[in-house]
Structure 1
């Protein structure tokens, strides 16, 4: 386990996104909500790029005055602790760099939905001219030709509010002139309000899409946290697999040396007539078995090494870099916390559960939004205007506060016969919400199952440490006894080889039990959703999402 004074505090993208909240129910509060400056925060939140050199490393072309330390590469050598392995993976892993973009992508949809309530500035300008010819039946009356021009300019501001209100303020000026009339300017300032009375009148329905976008962003953060936990677990597992493979290689190398020494001793005894020649076969077979095991151990160590390098992706390393692990698991392990404590933590902190709860919330919002479609659309509109008329542009605007005015009040009704599409949408939203609730209940049950299985595995490997340690100690005693009998001539090379083989297997089982317990603890913490907290890695999603049923 990582010591508290060596906890990791990497800067994750999710930290920049963890403060996002759902939009309040009123427009005044909605205006106070800042839109996340995604592009400005992105570079700071990502941290160092995958190709960034370690801190203190010389820049390209600079004098080589940099001295590598633990977790850094020098001449194809990488000294690595488990904490450094996790830290390097959080900085350089390519899958994590790809996953970091997803919350940013999802967050852009919030801005799209928020833009629905942003004010819109509009303007329009048109120039028109027409000519009409009036012909008379009498030949002595000439045709009358009328030419007219009309220039129109209008600008204004409109906005939709979460209350179902549409507001439009407009300013308009019109210049008209013809061969029959003098040039005239008309100016108008108008205000139009349209209020939904049935469909679209509820604030929670109008804000549903925006809140769903916020929920989607939060879901992506929990998904990102779950991916980060899985990555940390994979890195720790790969690190301890490499430690185990290195230990197995060391054990086989030592056992091969012992088998070679035993073979040479047997040959010497055969030459002096102390042992029959048939015992050389047993000693040679034992040496061959040790060499066979060493070949497999070295191959396994190479595979786990490149797997570890792929996960941590060190910026100045390559596939041939030799990794030297600095940590060794402690065979003295503390007792496990009660399984009930881990299950309670999993119910609150496991990212998959919180993501499922957010899906239920999203389904509730979709149900609220689609239910509005069952209502007819009934809107009340009010239009007020003041107009001014003059023969000059400036005079027309000064006359706007004069006696010229206009107003209109009315109702607009719209209702599709049968309303089949809205009914289908509402029914689908209800079924989807029920499906999300069933999925949440199933995931809660599976979470309890996963946590208990992980706890039982951690407890099993913990007990196996003491059992394999005792077995190894007893096998050492057995080997010493066989060696003593072989030296005095009462034992055989076959019995001695069997004792050496049993000791080798007990050594391997002890090393594997210690490593597997460390990996089982990592898996238990991942299943309970506490792995990042226990490793001191700050990320969003450390609080439970509450869902009302």
Structure 2
């Protein structure tokens, strides 16, 4: 028979545990960050999280920085450095990792779940006998424990296997122990039936993960293209500095010759103004060129991110040759086919379309009524002790419940609206793929046209520079015999300077146009021997 004096300490113990648990929860919150605290929390960087990696053939681990704080770098080394160190790329590498976690979340609904519950009930009351009218006290207690395993299967089946043990005891009835082992199966027959609809969310997240990888691939290609373009722009800036310095030396040499001729009376003093003006213009152009060189250096270092607190102070010396032999291209159709197949943004758009198609599978199934078949079968054992109740499960006692459960919204407007929106989104995604495919082909054609223009300009500017050099030599000879003026010579020298710059620009622009063509067709990473980790 239960004794209240025994259970009062139990209640006090449970109350104490509850108070301690609440106190632990209230004191376990981390403090709010303040300005005095560090800007990054140590938990911000988890070594167990592996971002998507990029692999490049024959990659060198470090940048060749000399003791004089000079970075001598080739185009291949610049590519490796950008892929390994670029901060923007590091941010994007975690995108596929995050997308992959959502795939696991959707798969989690098919994980088996273990559950357990225990309850205790105690009662003390006064009851009146119906036959005699006398009152008597009733003291009793009941316990119940349930443990089980349930799982949802992709066919739309919910399986629940459980074991229940309950016991009751009072001063008016003998002790009774009951054990039950049960199996419940619920099968969806209309809405929620079959793997096609129940695995749709998982498939959607699989496509989302693949799309995230394509998105990262596209971003990596963009960073790679920006790095190569920045490298060649820095090469161009160096070449322009060299040309401007040479032209300034020529202008100063010509100024000295004119001053000498004026002193000996061969030329009038009015010729001096044109020579000095030309020298000033060369100095002005050199100042602008140095500014452009500094800008290109900073932009290149930003993409390379070589590390260190003063990496922007590095002096960059490029070692790759910008001159190359060129041949006309006649494979436009092959490049268009390649772009439609490889462009990361187009691949991503196709995967998004697949996601929308799966969404219509879900919403179309949502139009159906909910009809479930359920079966509940159990074996029960009754005894006067805990152990004997489980032994009695071998007896012929059993219970079986089977039936159908139906529910459906009249009108079903919410499901119809979701289905209509899903089909509209699917059509929108299909139109987006068609539009993007057209834009991809346009990008390739424009890049192809620009490459051909740059190729033709190389020969044209080379011929122009040679002819302008002959014109300059002829003008100098005329000036030497007094048939020309210093102003005319300066103008011809200025034109010759422009042809020198144009020739170098044409060769560098061809390099850049080639990179942009590879970027437009989506083959830049492959052509550089780079693969994106899976």
User: Which TM-score bucket, shorter chain as reference?
Assistant: 0.7 to 0.9
Tell me if 1:262 matches 2:257.
no
The structural deviation recorded for 1:132 is 3.2
1:298-337 paired onto structure 2 within 5 Å: 298-316=290-308, 317-337=310-330
TM-score between the two structures when normalised by the length of structure 1:
0.85
Taking only aligned residues, the RMSD between alpha carbons, in angstroms, comes to 1.9
Give the structure 1 partner of residue 391 of structure 2.
Answer: 398
Aligned to 1:225: 217
Q: 2:459 aligns with which of 460, 466, 478?
A: 466
Q: Which runs of 5+ in 1 are unaligned?
A: 1-38, 49-53, 57-69, 542-549
Alignment of 1:255-294 (within 5 A): 255-294=247-286
Displacement of 1:74 after TM fit? 3.2
| 1:447-458 equivalence runs, <5 A | 447-458=440-451
- Aligned equivalents of 1:170 and 1:81: distance in 2? 68
What corresponds to 2:149 in structure 1?
157
Contact 2:52–2:96 (Cα < 8 Å) also in 1: no
* Distance change in 2, residues 1:455/1:143 (3 Å): same
Alignment of 1:20-169 (within 5 A): 42-43=49-50, 45-46=52-53, 55=61, 71-135=64-128, 142-169=134-161
Q: 1:47/1:361 Cα in 2 relative to 1: closer, same or farther (>3 Å)? A: closer
TM-superposed deviation, 1:484: 2.2
Q: SS of the residue aligned with 1:126?
A: strand
Match of 2:369 among 372, 376, 381: 376
Alpha-carbon separation, structure 2, partners of 1:473 and 1:392: 111
Q: Distance in 1 between matches of 2:295 and 2:128?
A: 99
- Secondary structure of 1:173's counterpart equals strand
Q: Cα distance 1:40–1:409, how it changes in 2: closer, same or farther (>3 A)?
A: farther
1:245 aligns with 2:234: no
Distance in 1 (alpha carbons) for counterparts of 2:531 and 2:402: 58
Taking the aligned partners of 2:527 and 2:186, their CA distance within structure 1 comes to 56
The alignment of Structure 1 onto Structure 2 pairs a total of residues equal to 484
Distance 1:292 1:253 in 2: 11
Shift of 1:45: 5.0
Q: Is this contact kept in 2: 1:127–1:150, CA < 8 A? A: yes
Q: What per-residue deviation string (whole Å, max 9, x for no partner) do you get for residues 157-188 of structure 1?
A: 00001100000000111111111222221111
CA distance in 1, matches of 2:361, 2:73: 54
Structure 1 residue 214 and structure 2 residue 206: aligned? yes
Secondary structure of the residue that 2:255 maps to in structure 1? helix
* 1:236 alignment partner in structure 2: 228
Call closer, same or farther: CA 1:334–1:47 in 2, change over 3 Å. closer
Counterparts of 1:117 and 1:396, CA distance in 2: 33
Separation in 1 of the partners of 2:295 and 2:88?
Answer: 20
Q: Provide the residue aligned with 2:418 in structure 1.
A: 425
Greater shift, 161-170 or 316-325, is seen at 316-325
Q: Which runs of 5+ in 2 are unaligned?
A: 1-45
Quote the residue 1:506 is aligned against: 499
Structure 2 residue aligned with 1:184: 176
Deviation at 1:444, TM superposition (A): 0.8
Counterpart CA distance in 2 for 1:253 and 1:291 is 9
Partner of residue 445 from structure 1, selected from 424, 438, 443: 438
Q: Deviation string for 1:447-468 (max 9, x for gaps)?
A: 1111101100010000000000
- The 8 Å contact of residues 52 and 97 in structure 2, kept in 1 or not, is answered as no
1:379-426 CA-partner distances (Å, limit 9, x unpaired)? 000111111111221121111111211111110001011111100010
1:83-122 Cα deviation digits (max 9, x unpaired): 1111111111111111111111111111110001110000
State the SS of the aligned residue for 1:182.
Answer: coil
Mean Cα deviation higher: 91-100 or 308-317 = 308-317
Question: C-alpha offsets along residues 279-328 of structure 1, whole Å, 9 cap, x if unaligned?
Answer: 11111111111111100000000011101111111113522211001112
Whole-Å Cα distance in 2 between the matches of residues 43 and 406 of structure 1? Answer: 53
Task: Name 1:477's counterpart in structure 2.
Answer: 470
CA contact (8 A) 2:53 2:533 kept: no
The offset of 1:137, in angstroms, is 9.3
2:237 and 2:160 map into 1 onto residues whose CA distance is: 73
**3-state SS in 1 of match to 2:532:** coil
8 Å Cα contact 2:52/2:93 also seen in 1: no
* Alignment counterpart, residue 341 of structure 2, candidates 344, 348, 361: 348
Distance in 2 of aligned mates of 1:487 and 1:356: 69
Distance 1:136 1:386 in 2: 35
SS in 2 for 1:323: strand
CA offset at residue 487 of structure 1? 2.5
Counterpart of 1:385 in structure 2 is 378
Residue 313 of structure 2 aligns to a residue whose secondary structure is: coil
